[in-house]
Chain A
């Protein structure tokens, strides 16, 4: 289990992470979503014992990362967002080195390495130099490396970033397999749909604060309470904008460039929405169409993180 209590990281007066309280249950996959610089990697670095928190603490299987970092390292497999590989080292030697670094005996390593390479579909690259592997292969190799000591917990910082669609699918398949193996996985991404299908629950972080947490369905439900409406106009745009601005349920009105269309968030009920449309017709506003936009997880993320840029 992973648990953070009031985890805070401050650089001068800037909060990279503020009072993070998080619980990831055993054998579940937790997706950590946030824009670049939101605080995902800071959280992961603290959990991986690479960064010291300013306040609060984090616990891996009940062990404090601040008080018992050496034991925590044995419990986790960490894949950072950016990592390098050693030149002139072959794939099996790369894994052998890290196996030795975790104190695994040479005989055990000899059995483990082919199995791990098979798990990440790199068995045919066993004697290739690691620096010559593609980005996707390096990413999978790094995952195999993180698994070498059979950790119960995996901390994966943007494992699919920079990968082509095929490599992303391969990575997703491997993670699904790890999930079936009962690993507790904490995975981050700045793309919510990428995580949705494999995560049991997700947390959305923005400006160092956890602003939403729950199952994927819960987070999606949050969106259902906030619709995106589109209004196509022929004529005086300003009058229509002023009309909608007066409505208490309307927020963030944006004009779609060159389309004579307004788009905004609406929090009211369906009855409220009907009344809004009726009032617009009574006032004879030049509205050609009034429709509700289909929303996906990307919109949820944008709405939750308040980074709405529609159009």
Chain B
């Protein structure tokens, strides 16, 4: 833990990030938008029903919506924060000097990624008081909230690792950002499309319920963050999906394994490719 906070790149990046007014205005506008949404929803729910009170099922609906909004925030902001970490240094001509220091490639990559994630985590944590408002009205358990935050952490780590990897492999920041958004869109959007197709194909010519396994449909659902989040919010959805795919493994298990592997693979590649392999020609 001590070495984590003495990582020079991490300390420097945090210092630079929080000296930047953009960071504070970013958090401010995020919190304003979130407050408007939450209070607006509560106001509409209470005034439209005319009851003057907010029911637990409405509270859960608000929680679900906010959870998806947070996921959207992670998916859209993480690439922008991480895909320029190394390529910006390269463009600003500061990378060569950094690479001639005695810091290991892992230390540099780790410091860069952690500083980007730290900012995003701060953003999420700063929204917690507004998020926790749903507890006032019931309908959501603290353990559910914990699982969802663990899910956020894993998703954030994976997307951040992909961003850092592209930033290391691709010289231009703009291209690295596009590539990271491409990967994010694939994971969050294209896999959902593949899931629908796989379900359709597996059910072709069959009368419900399904009798054969559809591992592909299960796989696409497993790596799709919105689908996994849905099963965390609505556990019955998990059972429903299992009746279609006939694969009796909870989605979160596959999701955890896949995203840990994706994170590790991306980071490993970034660490390996940060510096030239001086001994390659031998």
Which range holds the interface residue count of chain B? 20 to 34
Which range holds the interface residue count of chain A? 35 or more
Whether a CB of chain A sits under 8 angstroms from the CB of B273 is no
Contact partner of A49 (CB less than 8 A), chosen from B19, B92, B278, is B278
List B residues 16-30 near A (Cβ within 8 Å): 16, 19-20
Knowing A49-B278, A52-B281, A69-B278 are in contact, say whether A82-B102 is a contact too (CB < 8 A). no
CB distance from B93 to the nearest CB of A (A): 4
CB distance from A63 to the nearest CB of B (A): 12
B102 adjacent to A73 (CB under 8 Å): yes
Whether a CB of chain A sits under 8 angstroms from the CB of B56 is no
Whether a CB of chain B sits under 8 angstroms from the CB of A48 is yes
Complex CA–CA separation, A54 to B278 (angstroms): 10
Whether a CB of chain A sits under 8 angstroms from the CB of B2 is no
Knowing A52-B276, A70-B102, A74-B102 are in contact, say whether A83-B16 is a contact too (CB < 8 A). no
Q: Which residue of B lies closest to A148 (CB)?
A: B101
> What residues of B have a CB within 8 angstroms of the CB of A48 in the complex?
96, 100
B12 adjacent to A97 (CB under 8 Å): yes
Knowing A83-B94, A84-B92, A86-B94 are in contact, say whether A49-B100 is a contact too (CB < 8 A). yes
B101 adjacent to A80 (CB under 8 Å): no
Complex CA–CA separation, A87 to B6 (angstroms): 21
Whether a CB of chain B sits under 8 angstroms from the CB of A101 is yes
Knowing A73-B102, A86-B12, A149-B102 are in contact, say whether A66-B97 is a contact too (CB < 8 A). no
Task: Type the 1/0 row for A37-66, where 1 means its CB is closer than 8 Å to any CB of B.
Answer: 000000001001111111100000000011
Q: Which residue of B lies closest to A97 (CB)?
A: B12
Contact partner of A86 (CB less than 8 A), chosen from B8, B16, B102, B279, is B16
> What residues of A have a CB within 8 angstroms of the CB of B94 in the complex?
83-86
Knowing A93-B15, A97-B12 are in contact, say whether A53-B98 is a contact too (CB < 8 A). no
Whether a CB of chain B sits under 8 angstroms from the CB of A78 is yes
Complex CA–CA separation, A87 to B19 (angstroms): 10
Knowing A89-B15, A97-B8, A100-B11 are in contact, say whether A66-B279 is a contact too (CB < 8 A). yes
Whether a CB of chain A sits under 8 angstroms from the CB of B104 is yes
B93 adjacent to A88 (CB under 8 Å): no
> What residues of A have a CB within 8 angstroms of the CB of B100 in the complex?
48-50, 73, 76, 78
Knowing A88-B20, A97-B12 are in contact, say whether A78-B275 is a contact too (CB < 8 A). no
> What residues of A have a CB within 8 angstroms of the CB of B103 in the complex?
101
List B residues 77-115 near A (Cβ within 8 Å): 92-94, 96-104
B12 adjacent to A89 (CB under 8 Å): yes
Complex CA–CA separation, A102 to B279 (angstroms): 23
B15 adjacent to A101 (CB under 8 Å): no
Q: Which residue of A lies closest to B20 (CB)?
A: A88
Whether a CB of chain A sits under 8 angstroms from the CB of B277 is yes
> What residues of B have a CB within 8 angstroms of the CB of A103 in the complex?
102
CB distance from A74 to the nearest CB of B (A): 5
Task: Type the 1/0 row for B245-282, where 1 means its CB is closer than 8 Å to any CB of A.
Answer: 00000000000000000000000000000011111111
Q: Which residue of A lies closest to B99 (CB)?
A: A50
Complex CA–CA separation, A74 to B104 (angstroms): 12
Whether a CB of chain B sits under 8 angstroms from the CB of A145 is yes
CB distance from A221 to the nearest CB of B (A): 37
Knowing A49-B278, A67-B279 are in contact, say whether A73-B93 is a contact too (CB < 8 A). no
Complex CA–CA separation, A100 to B11 (angstroms): 10
Whether a CB of chain B sits under 8 angstroms from the CB of A15 is no
Contact partner of A52 (CB less than 8 A), chosen from B92, B102, B277, is B277
Q: Which residue of A lies closest to B17 (CB)?
A: A88
CB distance from A85 to the nearest CB of B (A): 7
Whether a CB of chain B sits under 8 angstroms from the CB of A98 is yes
List A residues 79-116 near B (Cβ within 8 Å): 80, 82-89, 93, 97-98, 100-103
Knowing A55-B281, A88-B19, A89-B12 are in contact, say whether A145-B275 is a contact too (CB < 8 A). no
CB distance from A154 to the nearest CB of B (A): 12
CB distance from A98 to the nearest CB of B (A): 6
Contact partner of B97 (CB less than 8 A), chosen from A52, A55, A78, is A78
A66 adjacent to B282 (CB under 8 Å): yes
Q: Identify the A interface with B (CB < 8 A).
A: 45, 48-55, 65-67, 69-70, 73-74, 76, 78, 80, 82-89, 93, 97-98, 100-103, 142, 145, 149
Q: 6 interchain pairs (CB within 8 A)?
A: A48-B100, A66-B279, A73-B100, A78-B96, A85-B94, A88-B19
Query: 9 closest A-B pairs (Cβ-Cβ)?
Result: A100-B8, A101-B101, A84-B93, A84-B92, A66-B278, A52-B276, A84-B94, A78-B100, A88-B19
Task: Name 8 extra pairs, CB < 8 A, besides A80-B97, A82-B93.
Answer: A49-B278, A50-B276, A52-B278, A73-B101, A78-B97, A97-B12, A100-B11, A101-B103
